[in-house]
Amino acid sequence: MQSGVRGKTAVLFGVLLAGTSCLTAQNTVQGTEQPAKQETNADSAQSAYKPKFAGDPAHSDAEAGTLGYMRTVLNAQKLYKRKHNSYATSLAGLVNTGSFTRRMIKTDRGDYDVSFHSHADGFSLALSPKQFDAAHRAFYSDETGVIRVESDKPATSDSDRLR
C-alpha cells in the first residue's frame, strides 16, 4: 500500500514539475526569462469584474454586493413607509420588509462598514470601504433614494450622484 501512495505522490510531483516548466517556458523570450506580470488586488478585481447587468455602475464584485445591499435597504424603507407612514428607525426594524433579512442587520459587510442613522423625517445610509482603492468606493443614500459616491473619502449627501 505504501508503494502505491509513493507512486501516486511521485506522479503528482512530476505533473506539478512539468506544469512549472511549461510556465517558465512561456515567460522566456529569446533565451531571456521575463518576470511574470504582477497585478495588485485592486487591478485584479477591476480587470476581472464583469458587469451584472446593462449599465452596472460597480467597479468590482465588492461594489456590486454593496450596491445590492443599498438597494435592498432603500426598497425595504420604501415598503416600510408605505405600511407605517414613517421610515424604520433602525436596520432591525426592516427585518422581513421586502427582501431585508435578519442577517442584513450586521454592519460589517466584508469589505465595507454600514452606517445607518434615523432622523425626524427620514434616514441616511452610508457604506464605506475598509480600504479605498479603484475597486472600493464609498456610497451614501437617504430617503430620496439617490445613491451618491466618493472615490477617496466617505460619501455624503453632497457627493456626486452615482451614474
pLDDT tens across 126-141, in order? 999 999 999 999 999 9
Alpha carbons within 13 angstroms on the beta-carbon side of residue 114 total 18
Query: Would you say residue 65 lies in a domain?
Result: yes
* 126 contacts 139 by C-beta, under 8 angstroms: yes
Number of domains in the chain: 1
Give residue 18's pLDDT: 39
Transcribe 62-127 into DSSP letters: HHHHHHHHHHHHHHHHHHHHHHHSS--SSSGGGTTSTT--GGGG-SEETTEEEEEEEETTEEEEEE
Summarize pLDDT for 25-53 with one digit per residue, the tens: 334 334 444 444 444 554 544 468 999 99
Query: Would you say residue 84 lies in a domain?
Result: yes
Query: Would you say residue 57 lies in a domain?
Result: yes
Question: CA separation (Å) from 22 to 18, 26, 43, 136?
Answer: 6, 6, 25, 35
What is the mean pLDDT of the segment spanning 135-150? 98
Query: Would you say residue 28 lies in a domain?
Result: no
Query: Would you say residue 2 lies in a domain?
Result: no
Range of the domain at 98: 46-151
Query: Would you say residue 75 lies in a domain?
Result: yes
Three-class secondary structure of residue 150 per DSSP: strand
CATH number of the CATH domain containing 101 = 3.30.540
Query: Would you say residue 121 lies in a domain?
Result: yes
Query: Would you say residue 61 lies in a domain?
Result: yes
